[in-house]
Structure 1
């Protein structure tokens, strides 16, 4: 258990509270920042015991690329989750570098994302809400997955605990079209969208409604057929939209800064057929990451990729002097 002392800041959501405070460990005198997320347990949000069981799963995740859940404090009306504190997230990072990232940094962040996700997927835990705001980054450049959806729930939520509407931008087409039978491939589509966003500085499919989201996807990747998506012609929702028959466009024309291997990996993440969509584990071994060296694949789960001397972030082309820049980065 952690004993708390000085408040640092407080940020309120609609139905949840995010707080940041200095925590003093009961085992020692060292001071550390932690982030507190309070989940208010309303009657319509289901039995508190279900939420506690699902959140408790996250306490068992010990990985360098997953935010550490230190503790869970349960009262009748709320759950308070005590997380490690990180300075920034990928959305802020992109904003701060003028949406122009070094392609070296794109690769290192992408590897860290896949590394954390692979660890979860091996334990049959889905994230279910991947987006840049849920990828936290500390002052060393370590990227960590945060804000998991309830791990074993049988649906993808339309709202978070804080009653905030979940964005559609990173949601795969099978979920947009109403599937309830899904597994790890639902996260992999979001990984592809995030790779595109890091490489271009703009979201890949910024739709505001389900129909608009699907339309943006089909216009770029082609309207699905039985060949590209077996069984799609039997989907009533898909047929009801009556989308035009778009042909797939060349991705390289939309992500010119991504190299051939990067385009190949992006393509494999954005396949309609979930059985063919690349897994996190397979993606880690993709030739796109060859330049990071072989040692990166033998790191212990709790070791940072930056424990390898050859892994270093570079100065982003859009970097401004006032923005976050990890120590030791190239100038």
Structure 2
């Protein structure tokens, strides 16, 4: 740690406290994530190992946070990342006015490019949410916090924990206790983030897992075996029943939104995981803004947060 000067505390991530720091020799500003081990003999926590493994195994990408270094410290270790000024949650929360269609489009394009890159490298993030999407001073978005990340295979035979993803962004199959799932859980979260950008508030703000499922069903309607055949095979399918509830048109949930944006939102918020729009189809975002694609988008945080 002696090569860094601590400039302040940023916050807490999975298993660690994050600090803003400056490399004394180079002057570079970075983010240091200090991970403490409860007992030295316990070794490095599994989630931290996943984060290191996932980030070290993939090449650099402009929309995924860069792991610059790892070194031991005391009874734990330190991860060194690019420093980013803010996160998307703060941008949404502190903006006095709704984000413009051009801003929404820009953030979504960067998010989807990052997610497409992860999925191409067989990585499920499993905890996509605005707070884990870091924003630079120029408005550049990078996906961060890989504490729940997992490598997946095309065969899809591996069992995973269903207790992943922050509740408001948790896919319905996870809420029903799914142990076998795919990168569709990330795509559901992308849809939730998209809706939050459009509406300046979370789409499904459940206070517990049952209420979370109720929030989803209240908007998208109660699924049937025809609309979601895989539902009956989920572990918790028979543990709770819901009365039949018709869907609310998403146009009512995200008013003042272009038809193209609403149509894209529908493509992410689909019950069957395999039917969700893949991140590689980010080009579908054309048309969200009514102006031409070459319009200037000012993402500087000073403008967004003012």
What TM-score results when the alignment is normalised by the length of structure 1? 0.79
Corresponding position of 1:155: 160
Contact 1:61 1:68 in 2 (8 A): no
| Comparing 96-105 and 178-187, the one that deviates more | 96-105
Give deviations 1:129-181, integer Å, cap 9, x for gaps: 0111001111111011111223338535748xxxxxx6300000001111111
Q: Which moved more, 1:251-260 or 1:53-62?
A: 53-62
2:29 is aligned to 33
Q: What is the CA-CA distance between 1:284 and the residue it aligns to?
A: 3.3
Write out per-residue CA displacement over residues 159-218 of structure 1, whole angstroms, 9 at most, x where no aligned residue. Answer: 8xxxxxx63000000011111111211100010001111111110000111100000000
Matches within 5 A, 1:43-122: 48=44, 51-52=48-49, 54-59=51-56, 60-74=58-72, 77-98=75-96, 100-122=98-120
Cα gap change, 1:39 to 1:226, in 2 (>3 Å)? same
- Tell me what 1:251 maps to: 250
Matching residue of 2:266: 267
Q: Is the 8 A contact 2:162 2:177 kept in 1?
A: no
Q: Aligned partners of 2:119 and 2:196: how far apart in 1?
A: 23
Alpha-carbon separation, structure 2, partners of 1:16 and 1:256? 39
Q: Which residue of 1 aligns with 2:303?
A: 325
Query: Shift of the alpha carbon at 1:291?
Result: 6.9
Inter-CA distance 72–151: structure 2 relative to 1 (3 Å threshold): farther
Contact 1:251 1:263 in 2 (8 A): yes
Structure 1 residues without counterparts, runs of 5 or longer:
160-165, 295-308, 316-322
Separation in 1, partners of 2:220, 2:40: 38
Residue by residue, what CA displacement relative to the aligned partner does 1:19-75 show, whole Å, maximum 9, x if unpaired?
Answer: 1111145xxx4x221111122334699753854365133033411111111011145
1:223 aligned counterpart, secondary structure: coil
Distance 1:209-1:45 versus aligned 2 partners, 3 A rule: farther
Give the Å deviation of 1:253.
1.1
Q: Within 5 Å, which residues of 2 pair with 1:1-331?
A: 4-11=3-10, 13=12, 16-24=16-24, 29=26, 31-42=27-38, 48=44, 51-52=48-49, 54-59=51-56, 60-74=58-72, 77-98=75-96, 100-148=98-146, 149-152=148-151, 155-156=160-161, 158=163, 167-235=166-234, 237-288=236-287, 310-313=295-298, 324-325=302-303
Taking the aligned partners of 1:61 and 1:155, their CA distance within structure 2 comes to 25
Q: How many angstroms apart in 1 are the aligned matches of 2:95 and 2:233? A: 45
Distance in 1 (CA, whole Å) between partners of 2:119 and 2:2 is 33
TM-score by length of 2: 0.85
Change (3 A) 1:193 1:99: farther
The answer to whether the 8 Å contact 1:65/1:143 transfers is: yes
Q: Which residue of 1 aligns with 2:155?
A: none
User: 1:64 and 1:248, CA in 2 relative to 1: closer, same or farther beyond 3 A?
Assistant: same
Root mean square deviation of aligned Cα: 3.1
User: Alpha-carbon deviations, 1:108-135, whole Å to 9, x = none?
Assistant: 0011000111011100011110111001
Paired residues of 1:88 and 1:137 also in contact (CA < 8 A): yes
DSSP-derived class of the 1:272 partner: coil
Partners of 2:113 and 2:282 within 8 A in 1: no
Cα 1:293/1:156, change in 2 over 3 Å: farther
* Structure 2 Cα separation of the partners of residues 79 and 285 of structure 1: 42
